[in-house]
Amino acid sequence: MGEFFIILISAVLVNNFVLARFLGICPFLGVSKKTDTALGMGMAVIFVMTLASIFTNLIHNLVLIPYHLEFLQIVTFILVIASLVQLVETVLRKLSPALYHALGIYLPLITTNCAILGLALLNVIKQYDLTRCIVFGLGAGLGFTLALLIMSGIRERLQFADVPKPLRGVPITLIVAGLLSMAFMGFSGLVKM
Amino acid sequence: MAQEAPAEEKLLHVSVSPHLRDTVSVPKIMRSVILALTPALIWAVYIFGLRALWLVLVGMMSAVLTEAICQKIMGRPITVSDGSAVVTGMLLVYCLPPGVPFWMPMVGSAFAIAIGKQAFGGLGHNPLNPALLGRAFLLASWPLHMTTDWRAPAMGTMSGIDAVTNATPLAVLKEAHKVLADPVSTTEQVVQAREAVAQLSSSYGNLFFGNVGGSLGETSALLLLVGGLYLMFKRYIGWKIPLTFLGIVMILTSAFGGADGLFTGDALFHLLSGGLILGAFFMATDMVTTPVTFRGRLIFGAGCGVITSVIRLVGGYPEGVCYSILLMNAFTPLIDRWTRPKRLGEKGLRQE
């Protein structure tokens, strides 16, 4: 139990995928304009990350390793992730058209999101078994959502800020991301992995 | 009929809100903050030497100069006379070790003002506390200076105790707990660690009056409390954030801070040591970067307390006040959003 907790805390705070590993910056910048959309995107990423973690782990252990096909790792992982995202997209379009439109291009972009591929590869590097993969995937998604929510809150407030003209939009967002990353350094050393 | 018009004009005076005006202004508040911080500065000069004063002056001048240059470049009115940059520089140097080289407060203040404040549009627009950002930046860039340039106070030891003399009280505690938790520690090491912990718990006097090592302006709990209560009396800072912040730290450190199980921790030691009082009264109460709602402030203070305790007890750094406030600053827009009071009659109307 304790080890699962450590994996979770590590993925959410200490090695936050966005603010410490700098993965998934594209949706982090693209979908953080409004808190509601950010929350929706976060939920989609949590869902995809947890599923991707499970499926890539199964495929790696049941197909790639027995047939010595580890060199196909990246190709198969991307294929699995892409099909999963397609599934999420279809479900979302039916269940919540508003969220589907709000996410726009960024939902298909999860397909090629380095955060999710990174998660699958990290699972392999860390040699996690299936349950640890689930916890790690969940933590990674939660960490991504946390970063996205914080960013969206600050950006909503920045709309009323008198930001100098050359820094408006993406530049100030990148500055905020850097400053947040610095604040998250406080969590370093919290758990020993 | 035409002659009556001027009389009517006097009866109805139309103006935009706010209608109740006060004489309080930004320069006035900043002057009070500087005044409230001055006793701690005098004390720092007394125990660390004149070097402390020069460091503070360098930090302040760098902050003011950076602010003026940024505003000049952007073609905006130069507002350094409001004193907010002076306070930022002062607070930044207060959380630096007293032995740092003089270029560090200079670089730190410049970063705090240029990136932490002016990039967002100046006073009132910055999402995170600039002084703390400056410190986090210096700690990330030059960790060696920031963790080793301590100085012993003029008439005491750096740790405030005799058992260990080359580290600040919180660092001594962290090291001792590491030894106690490590199964391979020898009996001798364990005895030494227990001795150190016991001595720390009897050094309240040194911590309270400030006869210990530590960051430049954080050593004397007494003088900072005087300054903080003065600001509270003037109603420039509220009681909610400092009280919940200090309270939660005391509860959590007494519950989980001991080596012998639950409720053996030393809450008073944690309260008086490190930058807790400086942070709780002067940084976590920043008007710009903290929530405005009643419940929001309680959540903010509690969050700071939780993160500080977690970093102090299990984190990689001995002290967590700076990071805890920065992280809660980042949460402030969300806290404000979720604790927004309901308008009269709103309940039940909105289905969202």
B171 is a domain residue: no
Provide the residue range defining the domain that includes A125: 8-187
A151 is a domain residue: yes
Which of B85, B113, B148 marks a domain boundary?
B148
Token pair, residue A57, equals 């782990």
Contact A157 B333 (CB under 8 A): yes
Look at A54 and B9; give whichever has higher pLDDT. A54
| The total number of structural domains that make up chain B | 2
Provide the residue range defining the domain that includes B301: 201-338
A42 is a domain residue: yes
B196 is a domain residue: no
Contact A187 B311 (CB under 8 A): yes
**For residue range B31-62, what is the model confidence (pLDDT) as tens digits?**
999 999 999 999 999 999 999 999 999 999 99
CA distance B303 to chain A (A): 14
Residue B296's pLDDT is 95
Does residue B1 have a pLDDT over 50? no
Which of B148, B168, B193 marks a domain boundary?
B148
A28 is a domain residue: yes
B122 and chain A in contact, CB less than 8 A: yes
Enter the DSSP assignment of B318.
S
A3 is a domain residue: no
CA distance A127 to chain B (A): 25
Chain B positions touching A172 (Cβ under 8 A) are: 119-120
Q: How far is B286 from B130, CA to CA, in rounded Å?
A: 10
- Which range among B157-161, B204-208, B251-255, B275-279 shows the weakest confidence by mean pLDDT? B157-161
Does residue B11 have a pLDDT over 70? no
Is-contact B120 A163, C-beta < 8 A?
yes
**For residue range A84-140, what is the model confidence (pLDDT) as tens digits?**
888 888 888 898 888 888 777 777 777 667 889 999 999 999 999 999 999 999 999
Residue A105's pLDDT is 72
B185 is a domain residue: no
Is-contact B255 B262, C-beta < 8 A?
yes
Q: How far is A166 from B122, CA to CA, in rounded Å?
A: 15
Q: How far is A11 from A139, CA to CA, in rounded Å?
A: 5
B352 pLDDT band, cuts 50/70/90, is very low
Chain A positions touching B311 (Cβ under 8 A) are: 186-187, 190
| The total number of structural domains that make up chain A | 1
CA distance A124 to chain B (A): 27
CA distance A145 to chain B (A): 13
Distance in Å from the first CA to the final CA of chain B: 55
A60 is a domain residue: yes
Query: Cβ contacts of residue B257 below 8 Å, gap of 6+?
Result: B264, B265, B266, B267, B270, B309, B312, B313
A106 is a domain residue: yes
Contact B323 A156 (CB under 8 A): no
Question: Choosing among A9, A187, A192, A193, which should be mutated to test the B contact, i.e. which has the most B CBs within 10 A?
Answer: A187
Residue A193's pLDDT is 54
Rounded average pLDDT over B17-30: 84
Contact A163 B136 (CB under 8 A): no
> What residue of A is the nearest CA neighbor of B327?
A183
B326 and chain A in contact, CB less than 8 A: yes
B2 pLDDT band, cuts 50/70/90, is very low
CA distance B292 to chain A (A): 13
B174 is a domain residue: no
Contact A163 B119 (CB under 8 A): yes
B191 is a domain residue: no
B139 and B210 both lie in a single domain: no
Does residue B3 have a pLDDT over 70? no
B294 is a domain residue: yes
B334 and chain A in contact, CB less than 8 A: yes
Question: Choosing among A14, A28, A154, A165, which should be mutated to test the B contact, i.e. which has the most B CBs within 10 A?
Answer: A154
B 286-315 residues with CB below 8 A of A? 307, 310-311, 314-315
A192 is a domain residue: no
Q: Model-level pTM?
A: 0.91
B163 is a domain residue: no
A1 is a domain residue: no
Contact B311 A156 (CB under 8 A): no
* Phi and psi at residue B87, to the nearest 5°: -65, -45
B170 is a domain residue: no
- For chain B, give the longest Cα–Cα distance: 102
Residue B269 C-beta-side C-alpha neighbours within 13 Å:
27
Query: Cβ contacts of residue A34 below 8 Å, gap of 6+?
Result: A102, A152, A156
Is-contact B93 B63, C-beta < 8 A?
no
A-B Cβ pairs (cutoff 8 Å, strict): 90
Chain B positions touching A180 (Cβ under 8 A) are: 330
Look at B125 and B10; give whichever has higher pLDDT. B125
Q: How far is B224 from B41, CA to CA, in rounded Å?
A: 10
Contact A156 B140 (CB under 8 A): no
Look at B210 and B350; give whichever has higher pLDDT. B210
Contact B127 A184 (CB under 8 A): no
